Chains A and B, each alone.
Chain A
Amino acid sequence: DTGVSQDPRHKITKRGQNVTFRCDPISEHNRLYWYRQTLGQGPEFLTYFQNEAQLEKSRLLSDRFSAERPKGSFSTLEIQRTEQGDSAMYLCASSPKGQGLTTGELFFGEGSRLTVL
């Protein structure tokens, strides 16, 4: 088990372009979360999946953001028409069934850093 992996680790793009991030959770974990972290702030919840179902979305997740987890394994987070305010670290986390936000530990990836010029 190699833990939660995220790709790419760094992405520099121009305003208006689309970007996609991928997260591969720990294999036996059925819950997957996306967070955003800006400089000097803690992670902010964006959305979470249980298996392939997206169960909750934060109001931070504007219409330009879409997340999927089609087969209940890896997940993608797409940002369309990027804006400079989207520059942040995008964190993915996973947790096993029966645990998670209300009961236990989240296992985080190293994050994908987005810079929008």
Chain B
Amino acid sequence: AQSVTQLGSHVSVSEGALVLLRCNYSSSVPPYLFWYVQYPNQGLQLLLKYTSAATLVKGINGFEAEFKKSETSFHLTKPSAHMSDAAEYFCAVSPRLGGNNDMRFGAGTRLTVKP
């Protein structure tokens, strides 16, 4: 079974500050890991994904995430926050080998960016 835990339901940063959104996963098989973003009144869209090619993954809008197997983590970072980054962010895991087709999402982290 797979699951993800997102630490912190709300994160607030100042514009220009580092963004760090935490995600820890649990998986009985090698995982695929994803970060999705949901802007107000919009559907979820993919920010980036880890599919075993490289542990440091770069996504859209300047975000990146690093897969750390020893820490079972896949934290999302951005060096400098922009007002437009305010949104809800979801970490997700799905099995890479066998298993079912069930992608598990975390509860989400709402990012607020202060001017």
> How far in angstroms is the closest Cβ of chain A from B84?
18
Q: Which of A5-32 contact B (CB under 8 A)?
A: none
Cross-chain contact B101 with A42 (CB below 8 angstroms): no
Contacts of A41 in B (CB 8 A): 107-108
Cross-chain contact B101 with A55 (CB below 8 angstroms): yes
Cross-chain contact A45 with B103 (CB below 8 angstroms): yes
Task: Please tell me the number of chain B residues within 8 Å of chain A, measured between CB atoms.
Answer: 27
> What's the Cα separation between A4 and B42 when bound, in Å?
11
Nearest B-chain residue to A9, judged by Cβ: B41
Cross-chain contact A56 with B105 (CB below 8 angstroms): no
Cross-chain contact B102 with A42 (CB below 8 angstroms): no
Contacts of B104 in A (CB 8 A): 45
Task: Pick from B9, B44, B46, B106 the residue with the most CB of A within 10 Å.
Answer: B44
Cross-chain contact B103 with A101 (CB below 8 angstroms): yes
Cross-chain contact B101 with A108 (CB below 8 angstroms): no
> How far in angstroms is the closest Cβ of chain A from B51?
7
Q: Which of B84-111 contact A (CB under 8 A)?
A: 90, 92, 94-96, 99-108
> How far in angstroms is the closest Cβ of chain B from A75?
15
Contacts of A58 in B (CB 8 A): 102
Interface string of B24-56 (1 = CB under 8 A from A): 000000001010100001111110010100000
Cross-chain contact A110 with B43 (CB below 8 angstroms): yes
Cross-chain contact B94 with A108 (CB below 8 angstroms): no
> What's the Cα separation between A37 and B99 when bound, in Å?
23
Q: Which of A65-117 contact B (CB under 8 A)?
A: 91, 93, 100-106, 108-111
Q: Interface on A for B, CB 8 Å cutoff?
A: 3-4, 40-45, 48, 55-56, 58, 91, 93, 100-106, 108-111
A-B contact pairs, 27 of them (CB 8 A): A4-B43, A41-B108, A42-B90, A42-B105, A42-B106, A42-B108, A43-B44, A43-B90, A43-B105, A44-B105, A55-B101, A56-B101, A56-B102, A91-B44, A100-B101, A101-B94, A101-B101, A101-B102, A102-B96, A102-B99, A105-B34, A105-B49, A106-B46, A106-B103, A108-B36, A109-B43, A111-B43
